[in-house]
Structure 1
Amino acid sequence: MPRTPRRTPAGSATPFSPPPPGLDLAIVTTGIANPAQARELAAAGCQLGTGPLYGPPHSLRETVRRR
């Protein structure tokens, strides 16, 4: 049976469990829209994320050029 995402007061869904220790995996999420979502996802173990909070996506070339 598929797992249903749990909606939280911050409006994000956290449908994952952190990976078991020792597997060297990272949790990545998309669509982070506000600081509360970013904090909640970080507290749940999400290490990387993208979304409107951080601006539009850029290519690696654009990112390097902007620095």
Structure 2
Amino acid sequence: MAREYKLEISLFERLIKNHFPYTALESQHRMATLISGTLMPIFYPQMLDASNVLGYPNIKGKNFVFMEQL
């Protein structure tokens, strides 16, 4: 059904492909820098951390954990 109605393409992708004007984010305001420093070079190389995330406290235990679902 997804292919029949082309639901595998997101609304954002449809808009961009049809030349709808858009602006990419330049800074992120939620992720701790340890997480953003791992993800942003891969997915958002030009994005910067906003100043409010620079002072986030550490989380008890571990700040960043990888989990694998088998």
Task: Calculate the TM-score normalised by the size of structure 2.
Answer: 0.28
Name the structure with the higher strand share.
1
Task: Calculate the TM-score normalised by the size of structure 1.
Answer: 0.29
Q: Which has the larger radius of gyration?
A: 2
